[in-house]
Chain A
Amino acid sequence: MHESAATLPGGMLAGMDAEVVFRARGLTKVYRMGEVEVVALREVDLDLYGGEFVVLLGPSGSGKSTLLNILGGLDSATSGQVWYSGHDLTAANERELTEFRRDHVGFVFQFYNLIPSLTARENVAAVTEIATRPMAPEAALELVGMGRRLDHFPAQLSGGEQQRVAIARAIAKNPAVLLCDEPTGALDSATGIVVLEALQRANEELGTTTVVITHNMVIAEMANRVIRMADGQIAGSELNPVRKAPRELHW
């Protein structure tokens, strides 16, 4: 078996539904920046299982965001293949990718990316309106502890609050997978922990497969599984024998 492959034999995750949600094989991404070619991903193999909470660790430029974007259907690979629940994403066209994102994926970004002209509730509603089986925006916001700030605009919310709204927006559609790119990167540690709690709660209560990108090693301690990336490749994948609660984390 490939040493760096982040694939596990079935049943190795104790107490977890071992259904494979994402399967990537030989995933390669090359960017062309002017005359320079940048290889962001090299031959990555990866399986993500239903309901697991994965932390993707790695320094900046290691390819984690590129991987996340390809998994989420935001970007396409140069070569290799990705399957989502048996559907080949690499073969999907623009319209199919849009539908995939709409129905199955929730994103959380480092800078929240809320629509500044919409309130918390409306930001969530913008997504639930186009989803097939959404929860009420208010319920999603309640879940992340923002039930009392429904009608605030992003400019009236702190960074942590904005990120919680962003999480509510991501989970409100009941996605199969939640992809978070440095969700605490712009926050202080206390606020970051509140956000991580919201993510964990969503993962536990809704059973959403959750991938969190970070370069903060501490956060890895709350994961089911930690995947390390370096130079566009997977450098290692390990299961956490004991998961810490976000409250127990310090950085």
Chain B
Amino acid sequence: MRALDRKLWRDLWQMRGMALAISLVMIGGISTFVMSRVTYESLLVTQQRYYVDQRFAQVFASLVRAPESVAERLVALPGVNQAETRVVAPVNLEVEGFEDPITGRIVSLPEFGEPRLNVPFLRRGRLPEPRADNEIAISEDFAEAHGLQPGDRLAAVIRGHRKRLDIVGIALSPEYMYAIPPGALFPDYERYGILWMNRKALATAFDMDGAFNDVAFTLQRGASEQDLVDEVDRVLARYGGLGAYGRKDQFSHRFITEELRGLETMATIFPVIFLGVAAFLLNVVITRLVATEREQIGTLKAFGYSTLQVGAHYLKLVLAISAGGILAGIALGLWFAKGLGGIYQEFYSFPYLHFQLDPLILGQAVLVSLVAVLAGTIVAVRRAAALPPAEGMRPEPPPVYRATFVERLGLQRRLAEPTRMIVRHVTRQPVKAGLTMLGIAAACSILMMTNFQRDAINWMMEVQYGLSSREDLTVLFTDPTPRRALYSLQSLDGVSHAEGFRAVPARLVHGHRSYRTAVDGIEPGTELYRVLDAELRPVPIPAEGVVLTEYLAEEILQIRPGQVLTIEVLEGSRPVLEVPVAGLTRQYLGVNAYMSRDALNRLMREGPAISGARLSVDSEQQVEIYRRLREMPRVAGTVVRDTAIEQFNEMMEQTILYFSFITALLGGFIAFGVVYNSARIALSERSRELASLRVLGFTQGEVGYILLGEIGLLTLLAIPLGFLFGLGLSGYLAVAFSSDLYRIALIVEPKTYALAALIVLVSFAITAALIWRKLSRLDLVEVLKTRE
């Protein structure tokens, strides 16, 4: 090994503490980058392969009922590659030993041969045999939630007919990767299941013999999805078509797409912050190193080392420091990606995960890191390389100190001498002090952002379930039902209050913009379900006009109160209504259109009909109420609120805990990296000064105060700044993640601020302990002897 390379390794060993701290920060940036990108690509590839393998459809349509003969017309539509009709039926399920109501969806399988589209992925067992009347395959999530196996049985109520079914297989489908029961907002694997059954058996039970109520298509290459959607709507209009839609509007697909977008955001934000901080730390450390090695550089040049050789030497050192961080970052990122991929696989019911390691991602990671590292150090390295040898031999001119602004204000009398030294030292290098603060603030903001996600979700749940939708149970009817049905619900033992609602599937149109949803007709003055204004106060539903969720009005339809909205009803006689927008409402989950039930009934030219009811019940009698509801033929399903919330919280906890763990760890890396390096550099710059003070009789405590007081002061100042950044980042996330599925409110709990500040302060405490140890080893005589 060349002598200069030996010097490099020994220098590196000398500064191992700082190098490690820098590596940790780099690891933070690179690992999040690698984790997000690799997970993103893996999921994308898995998704694509899954879609191809299971022949996931591209256009979907549901309808009330059409004779099978209509299928021929659908297949013949221009642009259709394949089409397959199905029967899809809502079902109430009973699993032995489980009292809560379970709803589900039974999807028909062709009587003979494999499905052409949306083929279930068979995990275990088999699909129902042709002509087998009582055989079903069930979704894996549902099976796992109840510990059901092929060979087990369950009971199903289809259109009031109770049927005992034999489970023969466990399956998954790209159609139901994120399956949400009707009327609910989150997946609930215990209370909602997807079942597959033979077409003939299902049609018989569901009164759909020789007919279908669902159809899926794939497109020919180059065919327009929108054209087909329009054509299908035209054909199905007379059969109660509920509006065809493309894959991009398919619920499961949309949810996953949104989530993947989130990963992309992560792959940008985190690395930028981490690598920025790493660049700053490297800058500080290398600048200091070059200053301490001035004479060595001068000597090397005096002996004929060229500018290029000296520059290369320091550049190598920089690369040696970074290389560890880059490699460890990649390794950790891959490890995180495996964990995260696994969580996503479970969360979104992927049947498998193709762990995709694109070398390009690693190349990008290395490239991005090197750019950051070089940007941070190139000035210092160039200064080292260009140092004229004669100048290197001369000691550096003493640093210039000035009376600080604070002192000029005449406040110095209040500051003790050591405190004055701290203030002067900070103000002497305002840029460095500022960047140090920025670095600590960045750590603080990342820590804050982590917990902000939890706060935001808690808030979302609180608004949704605490303020807006406060029912215990939601009952859905199979068809619009006269309002007097409410009385029979109210008369059930344990039901203290019942409110009916009318939900009408519709396409909302404003200009060329449109959105498919349900218009929710609610009773004026309802207690259980309330519409909230921007201040989250419940507002009454106006007697006329429609009230829209802010996001729906502003972002999707671009309509203002007072303008007229076109509502194309997708039910019954399918009237097209012109209704003024009467107001806006704030909600974080989903988007809706609300009307007074009366007004909606009137527009639908029907009597006082309701589609379902919200109940407030005595929890002691809940089980009995479920039983009674099951017996009512018009009840299509029951959604239980508390369990839905629990289930959701459990699920979120898993994912969010994983992220919290990662980001708290990495945020801690930054905090520690910045604080430790700053303190360490200060020690190196000022050891002579501090040793002199010790010789003059200052105690180790007083000297420690001067040294750590400075970085402590910066840390304290950085925390509020970090809060500000954290709010900014959180606000950015809130905007970036907003969609019609959910919006994130910028709500940060005091606890979140406190935790972020605490981790930063703990980093400071650890640093202080390490520096204290070094201070106690300060060799007074030796330090005073060496020439600076």
A117: contacting residue among B6, B302, B306, B388, CB under 8 A: B6
> In chain A, residues 63-114, which have Cβ atoms closer than 8 Å to a Cβ of chain B?
69, 72, 74-75, 94-95, 98-99, 101-103, 105-107, 109, 111, 113-114
State whether the Cβ of B230 lies closer than 8 Å to any Cβ in chain A.
no
Chain B, range 292-312, C-beta contacts under 8 Å to A: 295-296, 298-307, 309
Q: Is the CB of A122 within 8 A of B3?
A: yes
On whether A123 and B3 interact (CB within 8 A), knowing A109-B393, A115-B296, A117-B11, the answer reads yes
Contact B393 A101 (CB under 8 A): no
List B residues 1-37 near A (Cβ within 8 Å). 2-4, 6-7, 10-11, 14
Interface size class of B (residues with CB under 8 A): 20 to 34
Distance to closest chain A CB from B563 (angstroms): 72
Task: Return the contact of A107 from the options B4, B7, B302, B306 (Cβ within 8 A).
Answer: B302
Q: How far is the CA of A183 from the CA of B390 in the complex (A)?
A: 17
Which residues on B sit within 8 Å (CB–CB) of A117? 6-7, 10-11, 14
CA distance A101 to B389 in the complex (A): 11
Tell whether A187 is near chain B: CB-to-CB under 8 Å: no
Is the CB–CB distance between B3 and A125 below 8 Å? yes
Which of chain B's residues has its CB closest to A113's CB?
Answer: B299
Shortest B390–chain A CB gap in Å is 4
| Residues from chain A with Cβ under 8 Å of B305 in the complex | 98, 102, 130
Chain B nearest Cβ from A83, distance in angstroms: 19
Residue B787 interfacial (CB < 8 Å):
yes
Q: What separation, in Å, do the CA atoms of A97 and B550 have in the docked complex?
A: 74
Taken together as a complex, chains A and B put the C-alpha atoms of A113 and B303 apart, in Å, by 11
Q: Contacts A95-B306, A98-B301, A107-B303 known; A75 to B388 CB distance under 8 Å?
A: yes
Summarize B's interface: helix, strand, loop or mixed. helix
A118 contacts the other chain (CB 8 A): yes
CB distance from A154 to the nearest CB of B (A): 11
Chain B residues within 8 Å of A169, by CB: 303
- Is A101 in contact with B7, judged by CB distance below 8 angstroms? no
- The reply to whether B306 and A98 form a contact with Cβ atoms under 8 Å apart is yes
Contact between A113 and B389 (Cβ–Cβ < 8 Å)? Answer: no
Instruction: Give every chain A residue within 8 A of B10 (Cβ-Cβ).
Output: 117-118
* Mask: chain A, 122-165; 1 = CB below 8 Å from B; 0 = not: 11011101110000000000000000000000000000000000
B390 touches A74 (CB 8 A): yes
Q: Are A131 and B6 in contact (CB under 8 A)?
A: no
Inter-chain CA distance A113–B300, complex, in Å, is: 9
Task: Say how far A248's CB is from chain B's closest CB, in angstroms.
Answer: 31
Interface contact B390-A102, CB-CB below 8 Å: no
Residue-wise interface mask of B (481-493) relative to A, using a CB-CB cutoff of 8 A (1 in contact, 0 not)? 0000000000000
- CB B393 to nearest CB in A, in angstroms, measures 7
Decide yes or no: A127 and B303 within 8 Å by CB, A115-B7, A118-B10 being known contacts: yes
Set B2, B14, B298: member contacting A113, Cβ < 8 A: B298
CA distance A35 to B298 in the complex (A): 26
User: Do B301 and A126 touch across chains, with their CB atoms under 8 A apart?
Assistant: no
Q: A102-B303, A169-B303 are in contact. Are A113 and B295 (CB under 8 A)?
A: yes
Quick check: B304 and A115 within 8 Å, CB to CB? no
Q: Are B304 and A72 in contact (CB under 8 A)?
A: no
Q: How far is the CB of A46 from chain B (nearest CB, A)?
A: 18
* Cα A111 to Cα B304 with chains together (Å): 19
The answer to whether B7 touches A74 (Cβ under 8 A) is no
Contacts A74-B302, A74-B389, A94-B307 given; does A129 touch B295 at CB 8 Å: no
The residue of chain B having its C-beta at the shortest distance from the C-beta of A128 within the complex is B3
Q: Mark B388-399, 1 if CB is under 8 A from A, else 0.
A: 111001000000
Which residues in window 582-619 of B have CB below 8 A to A?
A: none
Q: Is the CB of B3 within 8 A of A113?
A: no
B397, chain A: closest CB distance, angstroms: 9
Minimal beta-carbon separation of B168 from chain A (angstroms)? 73
Inter-chain contact A98/B304, CB cutoff 8 Å:
yes
Name B302's contact: one of A99, A101, A125, A131 (CB within 8 Å): A101
Report whether B390 and A101 are in contact in the complex, using a CB–CB cutoff of 8 Å: no
**Contact status A122-B6, CB under 8 Å:** yes
Interface pair A113/B4, CB less than 8 Å apart: no
A117 CA to B6 CA in the complex, in Å?
A: 8
A99 to B305, CA, bound (A): 8
CB distance from A146 to the nearest CB of B (A): 16
Known interface pairs A69-B390, A111-B787, A113-B299; A98-B4 also in contact (CB < 8 Å): no
Q: How far is it, in angstroms, between the C-alpha of A122 and the C-alpha of B3 when the chains are bound?
A: 5
Q: Is the CB of A126 within 8 A of B388?
A: no
A-B pairs with lowest CB-CB distance, top 5 = A102-B304, A126-B3, A117-B10, A75-B390, A113-B299
Given A114-B299, A115-B3, output 8 extra A-B contacts at Cβ < 8 Å. A72-B302, A74-B301, A98-B304, A98-B306, A105-B304, A107-B302, A115-B300, A126-B303
Would you list 7 pairs from A and B whose C-beta atoms are within 8 A, ordered by A residue?
A98-B306, A101-B389, A107-B303, A117-B6, A122-B6, A126-B4, A130-B309
